Structure 1
């Protein structure tokens, strides 16, 4: 089969598995997040490596709304340089350093009704596990988005012996096969074409839509960032300003304001 078509087939299989097996978990996670946002809290989001893309997918972008707070460390996620200063080697080293998560969270005031959403394909690296442990210490509900197939094949790396799946109140499977890369090319030893971005983005946006529905039902419709295609230029621009203002208001407590 043509490798490009093989990738599209594998991507379709991921979406099919999410539809068939993960909707209950997405709905449970949506309940947690909607409760947080409806009560003026924030869903804090953390990821390392390429998983940080899911955080940017959640907010801010068209069709999204405030209530989500990215906690993104450039030292763990900035891949543009690859080598040299801020290179990939440093990022991959730091995600295994225990004690880093408490240092990061020392900058914020986190408390209920806040909740925590962590993206990690493997769900075993030290900093993401430690971030979940720290969130639980603060009585925050933890939602994990991982590849269950990948996580099952990985031994725990954190000294607690825990994986992210062991700590989360709700775990959503991004339904990506273990190893992430999904396509074999004749003459090439290693597979290509990672699938976790497909699965992670699908879960993120399905969750976002489910949360919006619940907020409307609670009488607190979210302030959506809407394209001028739908609302016209003036109304769209005002919607952006209102959404950003709401987000800024929510952040004041988190930053000690």
Structure 2
């Protein structure tokens, strides 16, 4: 019997090893930027279209996360339940490459002087995430990108400027994903299967989250962590969740 599952597991582990070997300095720098933003009562805006919405929601809100991060998730380009028909993938793929869409999204927010943004895009070539980064930078605020440098370098930008996301961002964390994303070739199957971009990107997200929590706590500004009943029991957990939601509401007031 073939062991394609083992090949996938080994490749996924290799991606994580590459991140540890090459990206720890970038992760530390981004964590410091986020801690400075949150510590100054600013917001770390998060954006991702397509499957990159997973990275946004992995950062906040979920157990083990905390306020200070502001997820921007547009259902028109992230709603994957309907593959065809209303809210289908054809429409989402189309909208990801419409120039001007990002400007419309960004007009909904009032950004502060301490804010920063993380844009997630594995390819870094679609117009929407590129223009989200451009629009945020145009306000004099820093932008961080998380994606595959190898994939981006081997691809052509769809933006009229010809620039890819990593060429716009102030700082980029490489998820160390190989070009094409899918990593396992099956005999007699025309195309590879098994993407690894989510594994690398979500690992980076949680590494940042943990480091930011450490930095804030060391600065006497411990975050209000969304914590489940396993640690606190159901009653106290419910209170802690409400505290986290209230803290989030206070932080985003006026945004």
- The two structures have a TM-score, normalised by structure 2, of 0.97
* Counterpart position of 2:126: 125
Query: Matched residues in 2 for 1:85 and 1:233: separation?
Result: 39
- Residue number in structure 2 paired with 1:149: 150
Gapped regions of structure 2 (runs ≥ 5): none
Aligned positions of 1:40-51 closer than 5 A: 40-51=41-52
Shift of residue 235, structure 1, vs aligned partner: 2.2
Matches of 2:214 and 2:224 in 1, distance apart?
13
Task: Give the structure 2 partner of residue 244 of structure 1.
Answer: 245
How far apart in 2 are the matches of 1:244 and 1:170? Answer: 30
Give deviations 1:141-192, integer Å, cap 9, x for gaps.
1110001110010112211222111111110011111100010111101000
**What residue number does 2:215 align with?**
214
Contact 1:50–1:77, Cα closer than 8 Å, also in 2:
yes
Indicate the SS of the match to 2:244. helix
Aligned residue for 1:131, secondary structure, equals helix
Deviates more, 1:29-38 or 1:158-167: 158-167
Structure 1 equivalent of residue 91 of structure 2: 90
Structure 2 counterpart of 1:184: 185
Shift of 1:110: 1.3
Aligned to 2:24: 23
**Deviation at 1:79?**
1.1
> Does the CA contact (< 8 Å) of 1:111 and 1:139 recur in 2?
no
Q: Does 1:227 align with 2:249?
A: no
SS of equivalent to 2:11: helix
Does the 8 Å CA contact 1:165/1:171 hold for their aligned counterparts? yes
Task: Tell me which residue corresponds to 1:3.
Answer: 4
Q: Distance in 1 between matches of 2:13 and 2:57?
A: 23
Q: How many residues align?
A: 254
**1:111–1:138 contact (8 Å) kept in structure 2:** no
Distance 1:190 1:113 in 2: 45
Do structure 1's residue 36 and structure 2's residue 37 form an aligned pair? yes
| Conserved 8 A contact 1:98-1:130 | yes
Partner of 1:109: 110
* Corresponding residue for residue 200 of structure 1: 201
* Alpha-carbon distance in 1 for matches of 2:175, 2:113: 27
How many angstroms apart in 2 are the aligned matches of 1:12 and 1:235? 37
Normalising by structure 1, we get a TM-score of 0.97
Q: CA deviation at 1:229?
A: 1.6
Does structure 2 conserve the Cα–Cα contact (< 8 Å) formed by 1:75 and 1:91?
yes
Please give the alpha-carbon distance, in whole angstroms, between the structure 2 residues aligned to 1:137 and 1:39: 21
CA distance in 2, matches of 1:138, 1:182: 39
**Distance in 1 of aligned mates of 2:96 and 2:215:** 35
Aligned residue for 2:66, secondary structure, equals coil
